Amino acid sequence: MSAEHGHSPLEQFTIKPLIPIFIGDTNVSFTNTSLWMMLAVIGVVVLLSAGGRKMALVPGRWQNLAEVMVHWIENTVKETAGNEGLKYFPAIFTLFMFILFTNLLGMLPYSFTPTSHIIVTFALAAVVFIAITLLAIVKHGPVAFLKSFLPHGTPLWMAPLIYPIELISYLSRPISLSVRLAANMMAGHTLMKVIAGFIFVLGVGGIAPLALLVAIVGFEIGIAILQAYIFTILTCVYLESALHLH
């Protein structure tokens, strides 16, 4: 019954076209996903340009916030990928800020979370995967790249078994990267909606799910930050393995 009235916990994930655009038969409408991704980009630009405007020696509030984020990701890149990885810091930081803002904007009531859709996270993961594979091939040459799937000191008779395993393990990276982010965001938002559905149904007793919901919202904000960070740190780990090929 509740589904008919549009209160299904999964209804929040439907994509609604806001401005229908068709090129030939291809649907390229401006949807709610597009809108919230655009808002995330605008949010990142506003925050960082507000923080970088003054460049004061003693940072103000905005500058401090921007600096904390930059230093946080800079440290992560340096620790996982080494100083060589710092060359790719702008790309990684952009990725982190985009995911962080789409995740956090999704926590606003009536908003939409683009990162709860696997196609969005898969596109992000595919960009990372293709870029890092190309980087490894360009830096070390295609032969060394193909050889890197065989760990050092593998007996030759084991190679037919080890090689496919290593290859599959390499190819599964974008899958695990994208599924993890999308599943976390979707599960969290569904859970919040389900618990919220109990509040009015239970009347006065609804105070218990309300209290639980408050805790879950805090928990979800933590997950939103953490998942953006995990995506970033794994990108750094993959970057490191592409730079050193082992």
* Rounded to 5°, angle at Cα 170 from 236 and 122: 70
Check binding of 223 to other proteins (CB under 8 A): yes
Q: Give me the least distance between CB of 166 and other proteins, in Å please.
A: 7
Residue among 108, 101, 109, 99 nearest 46 (CA)? 101
Q: Give me the least distance between CB of 62 and other proteins, in Å please.
A: 12
Check binding of 175 to other proteins (CB under 8 A): yes
Residue placing its CB nearer to other proteins in the complex, 3 or 168:
168
Between residue 105 and residue 164, which ones bind other proteins under the rule CB under 8 A?
161, 164
Report the SS3 class of residue 108: coil
Residue placing its CB nearer to other proteins in the complex, 69 or 242:
69
Residue with tokens 């639980």: 212
Task: Show the binding pattern over residues 4-43: x = contacts other proteins (CB under 8 A), - = does not.
Answer: ----------------------------------------
Q: Give me the least distance between CB of 55 and other proteins, in Å please.
A: 16
Candidates 176, 200, 208, 211; binder of other proteins (CB under 8 A) is 176
Between residue 66 and residue 105, which ones bind other proteins under the rule CB under 8 A?
67-69, 71-72, 74-76, 78-80
Residue placing its CB nearer to other proteins in the complex, 15 or 126:
126
Q: Distance (Å, rounded) from C-alpha 169 to C-alpha 160? A: 15
Q: How many residues bind other proteins (CB under 8 A)?
A: 38
CA dihedral for 232, 233, 238, 243, sign (positive or negative): positive
Q: Distance (Å, rounded) from C-alpha 243 to C-alpha 131? A: 12
Residue placing its CB nearer to other proteins in the complex, 50 or 183:
183
- Is 162 exposed, middle or buried, given 0-12, 13-18 or 19+ CB atoms closer than 10 A? middle
Q: Which residues pair with 26 in a beta bridge?
A: 23
